[in-house]
Structure 1
Amino acid sequence: MTGKGRRERPADPGDHGDELDLIVRAGSDAEAFGLLYERHVRRIYNYIFYRTGNHHDAEDLTARVFQRALRHVGTYQDKGVPFSAWLYRIAHNLVANWHRDRSRRPTVPLEDDWLPGGGGPQPEAMAVASDEQRRLMDAVRRLPEDRQQLLILKFVERLSNAEIGLIMGRTEGAVKSLYHRTLNALRDELGAASSAVPAEAGDEDGVGPDEAEE
């Protein structure tokens, strides 16, 4: 159904008006819902894969996301929350239940070097796994769930702070603050000079932590 660890952010899902038309029709029009599925399935699958760490469960949960979306698409209202964010919230809830059922903390797959962002891996990075990268991944695996989710949305899905805020149910300022604290926690554990920790210069919003809301 889907490929493993796809890095690039898919093209924009399309004109907003066109998307809303598909959503209105989707409850009774299988073709309309199929178009919505094709537009969003890759991103939802990638998100779930990085939250669960295996393909079988990622495919099962992705199918359940869209089954639930089909049942409840009539309840979706465009109140500043994109349809994609609505799908991510469904995915988040299903993944949270998946982890609770297994009584284990959510982790990201160690073998996939999705941090830091910026294009595909360089040849030297593919030839040998960096000790720093492995230490970084170990540290990420120990983060609380919300911080793992933030890093996945930012560096795998490459979403903006505003988009992440809609998905996580937080203000944009709160996302910036959480991102800053997460990077600081990683630097404290790995050492301030570690090149494996993503640079904060990648934050497109340019607002310091002191200006962010909790």
Structure 2
Amino acid sequence: MEYNEEEILQHASQGDRDSFGQLYAHYVERIFNYVYYRTGNTHDAEDLTARVFQRAMKHIVNYTDRGVPFSAWLYRIAHNLVANWHRDRSRKQEIPLDDLPILPTKGDHPERNLVRSQEQDVLLKMIRTLPAERQNLLILKFVENMSNAEIGAIMGRSEGAVKSLYHRTLLALRDQLEDQNLNLEGE
């Protein structure tokens, strides 16, 4: 059976729980990944993901197609819940570095894996210092592999604005890396 989101959405918005279940099955992993990268905690990500879908199910009768994908509506709900979660905690939590897998490639040496792991640690710490909007952008771009147009729909920005923010974010990360490398060389 082919997944026809438009038809499934229509049934779900009329209260069909089985149709909503299909939407849930289709999007739960993507929403969980997004929330996990924003919270850095599996337990909180599971809780917030459940709340995203509870809120979506409660309000799907009010959902109207405005020319953006249904996923944009779910990501907006997730974004708002995560923002509230951070506000309530008034601090950012870090992703435990032990949770990040290092996948060895054929012929890789343990030393290279260690260096790659250390480089990932440095980059993740730098990303966590960015404003939430820029963290969202990087998660949607690199974890969810979304296009600039899809990211724009989720973030409520034009595709050009997303490109500009992406460019500024990469420049900021590059500058941070250069500063850190200069500090390391000076030690």
Q: Which amino acid aligns with 1:146?
A: E
Residue 133 (structure 2) aligned to one of 142, 146, 150: 146
Aligned to 1:204: none
- 1:25 pairs with 2:11: yes
The alpha-carbon distance between structure 1 residues 51 and 82, as it changes in their structure 2 partners (threshold 3 A), is same
* Contact in 2 for aligned 1:105/1:145 (Cα 8 Å): no
Q: Which runs of 4+ in 1 moved over 3 A?
A: 105-114, 124-127
- Per the TM alignment, residue 148 of structure 1 is displaced from its structure 2 partner at its CA by 0.5
Which structure 1 segments of 5+ residues have no match? 1-13, 115-119, 195-214
* Contact in 2 for aligned 1:26/1:32 (Cα 8 Å): yes
Figure out how many residues of one structure are paired with residues of the other and give that number: 173
The alpha-carbon distance between structure 1 residues 43 and 79, as it changes in their structure 2 partners (threshold 3 A), is same
The alpha-carbon distance between structure 1 residues 24 and 101, as it changes in their structure 2 partners (threshold 3 A), is same
* Contact in 2 for aligned 1:108/1:141 (Cα 8 Å): no
- Per the TM alignment, residue 135 of structure 1 is displaced from its structure 2 partner at its CA by 1.8
Percentage of matched positions with identical amino acids: 61
* Contact in 1 for aligned 2:41/2:95 (Cα 8 Å): no
Tell me the alpha carbon deviations over residues 27-80 of structure 1, each in whole angstroms, 9 at most, x when there is no partner.
421111111110011100110011101111111111110110011111111111
Aligned to 1:98: 85
Query: Following the alignment from structure 1 to structure 2, what is the Cα–Cα distance between the partners of residues 106 and 160?
Result: 27
The alpha-carbon distance between structure 1 residues 112 and 190, as it changes in their structure 2 partners (threshold 3 A), is farther
Between structure 1 and structure 2, the one with the greater Rg is 2
Residue 30 (structure 2) aligned to one of 36, 40, 43: 43
* Contact in 2 for aligned 1:48/1:61 (Cα 8 Å): yes
TM-score, scaled relative to structure 2: 0.84
Query: Following the alignment from structure 2 to structure 1, what is the Cα–Cα distance between the partners of residues 80 and 68?
Result: 17
Q: What is the RMSD computed on CA atoms of the aligned residues?
A: 2.3
The alpha-carbon distance between structure 1 residues 142 and 72, as it changes in their structure 2 partners (threshold 3 A), is same
Query: Following the alignment from structure 2 to structure 1, what is the Cα–Cα distance between the partners of residues 12 and 122?
Result: 45
Is the deviation greater in 29-38 or in 132-141? 132-141
TM-score, scaled relative to structure 1: 0.74
* Contact in 1 for aligned 2:28/2:49 (Cα 8 Å): yes
Q: Which amino acid aligns with 2:79?
A: H
Aligned to 1:11: none
